[in-house]
C-alpha cells in the first residue's frame, strides 16, 4: 500500500504521534493524535468532546500547531508541555482550552507574556521560586524549540491547520462532533 493510501497510518503521521509530548489517557483502546491550538475555537470544541468520551480512546497524543492568527498560543503550548506527564497536566490543559483569552495585541512577545500572566494568575504556584520574566525565558528555551519542531513536522505533513484528529487510519480535518465521534468509535488501529 502506498503511503498516500495509508491514511493516518502513513509514516508522516506516525512521526507526528512520536513528536507529541502531551498525552491523555482514556479507558478505550484506540490511539489518537490531535493536532491543535489552545486558542482555536474549534480546537476547544474538540478538546471538550474528547474529555466527554474517554471510553472511546486509550490514549490521546496532543501535538501543538500554534496558529499565526492566534498570537501567543505557542506560550500556551510551552506551559502545557512543561507539565506533561504530571498531575498538573489536566487542570492546566483544561484551563488553556476553556478559560484562556486571546490577547488583543500585535506584538508576539507581549502576547506570549499576557498568555503566561493568565496562567500564573490562575495557578500562582507556577511562580514559586521564580519571576514571570524568568519563567518566560525558561519556557521559551526548554519548550519553544520542541513546539516549533512539532509544528514544522505538521506543516511538512501538509496539514492545513487545526484541529485535526487522526485515529488509526482515519483522518478528520477540522472539527465536527459527528465525524470525530465516528472516527473514535471505529476503533481503527495502525498495523
CATH number of 3-185: 3.40.30.10
> Is the Cβ–Cβ distance between 111 and 104 less than 8 Å?
no
Residue extents of the structural domains in the chain: 3-185
Least confident of 5-9, 66-70, 97-101, 116-120: 5-9
Of 109, 34, 47, 45, the residue nearest 78 (C-alpha): 109
pLDDT at position 178: 97
The contacts of residue 176 (CB under 8 Å, 6+ apart) are: none
> In sequence order, what are the beta bridge partners of 59?
25, 31
Q: What percent of the chain has pLDDT over 70?
A: 97
- Per-residue pLDDT, averaged over 112-124, amounts to 98
Q: Which pLDDT belongs to residue 6?
A: 65
Cell numbers describing residue 168: 488509526
pLDDT score at 2: 37
Average pLDDT taken over every residue of the chain: 93
pLDDT, one tens digit per residue, over 16-47 is 999 999 999 999 988 999 999 999 999 999 99
Helical ranges in 37-171 per DSSP H: 41-52, 73-82, 89-98, 108-122, 132-156
Q: How far apart are CA 8 and CA 39, in angstroms?
A: 25
Give pLDDT, residue 5.
54
Confidence of residue 185 (pLDDT cuts 50, 70, 90): very high
- The answer to whether residue 4 scores a pLDDT higher than 80 is no
| pLDDT confidence band for 1 (50 / 70 / 90) | very low
Amino acid at each position: 500500500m502506498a503511503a498516500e493510501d495509508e491514511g493516518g497510518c502513513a509514516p508522516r503521521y506516525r512521526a507526528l504521534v512520536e513528536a507529541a509530548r502531551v498525552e491523555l489517557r482514556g479507558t478505550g483502546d484506540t490511539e489518537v493524535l490531535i493536532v491543535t491550538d489552545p486558542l482555536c475555537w474549534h480546537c476547544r470544541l474538540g478538546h471538550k468532546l474528547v474529555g466527554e468520551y474517554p471510553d472511546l480512546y486509550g490514549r490521546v497524543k496532543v501535538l501543538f500547531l500554534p496558529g499565526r492568527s492566534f498570537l501567543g498560543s505557542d506560550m500556551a503550548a510551552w506551559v502545557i508541555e512543561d507539565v506533561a506527564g504530571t498531575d498538573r497536566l489536566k487542570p492546566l490543559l483544561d484551563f488553556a482550552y476553556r478559560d484562556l483569552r486571546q490577547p488583543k495585541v500585535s506584538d508576539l512577545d507581549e502576547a506570549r507574556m499576557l498568555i503566561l500572566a493568565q496562567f500564573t494568575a490562575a495557578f500562582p504556584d507556577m511562580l514559586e521560586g521564580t519571576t514571570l520574566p524568568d519563567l518566560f525565558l525558561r519556557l521559551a528555551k526548554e519548550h519553544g524549540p520542541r513546539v516549533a519542531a512539532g509544528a514544522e513536522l505538521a506543516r511538512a505533513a501538509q496539514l492545513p491547520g487545526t484541529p485535526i484528529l487522526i485515529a488509526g487510519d482515519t483522518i478528520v480535518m477540522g472539527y465536527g462532533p459527528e465525524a470525530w465521534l465516528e472516527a473514535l468509535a471505529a476503533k481503527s488501529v495502525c498495523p
